[in-house]
Amino acid sequence: MIIHGSALSPFTRKVVLSAMEKGIAFESHDLNPYAPPDNFKTMNPLKRVPIIQDGDFTLADSSAICGYFEARYADTQALFPKEPRDQGVRVLDMHDLPVKAPP
Ligand SMILES: N[C@@H](CCC(=O)N[C@@H](CS)C(=O)NCC(=O)O)C(=O)O
C-alpha cells in the first residue's frame, strides 16, 4: 500500500493515522499538490491529496480511502463504531474537527 500525500495535509494525516490504527503496512510517498508530478491528474482528476495505490487500484479522497480500509481490512481494528450515534460522531471527529475547529 502506498499513501501519496503531504504531512501538512490534515486529510493525508487522517489516512496515515487510520492505516496505522488498522495495522496496515504502507509506504508514505510525499506529494505536494501545489508542485505535483506529471501523472497527478491521472491519479486524481480533482488534483488533491491523499491518494492511495493498493496494487493496481488507485483511490483518492480521505473518506473514500478510510471506507476502503474498513472494508478491505475488515478483520482489524474498526475505524467506525457500529452504534449509529457513535459512528456519526467518529466521522465528525475524523473529518471536520482537525480541519475546521478553532483553537
Ligand atoms: N475531500 C478531500 C479533500 C482533500 C484536500 O482538500 N486536500 C488538499 C490538501 S489538505 C489538497 O490536495 N489541496 C490541493 C488543491 O486544492 O489544489 C479528502 O478528504 O481527501
pLDDT in tens, the chain (103 residues): 999 999 999 999 999 999 999 999 999 999 999 999 999 999 999 999 999 999 999 999 999 999 999 999 999 999 999 999 999 988 888 877 656 666 6
Q: For ligand 1, is residue 41 a contact (CB within 6 Å)?
A: no
Euclidean distance between the first and final Cα of the chain, in Å?
A: 33
The domains found in the chain, sorted by start residue, are 2-100 (3.40.30.10)
Q: For ligand 1, is residue 49 a contact (CB within 6 Å)?
A: yes
Residue 103 has a pLDDT of 63
Residue 97 has a pLDDT of 66
* Side chain identity at residue 62, one-letter code: S
Q: For ligand 1, is residue 63 a contact (CB within 6 Å)?
A: yes
Residue 92 has a pLDDT of 86
**Pocket test residue of 6, 9, 11 for ligand 1, highest count of atoms within 8 A of CB:** 11
Show Cβ contacts of residue 69 under 8 Å, excluding neighbours closer than 6 positions. 18, 19, 22, 24, 79
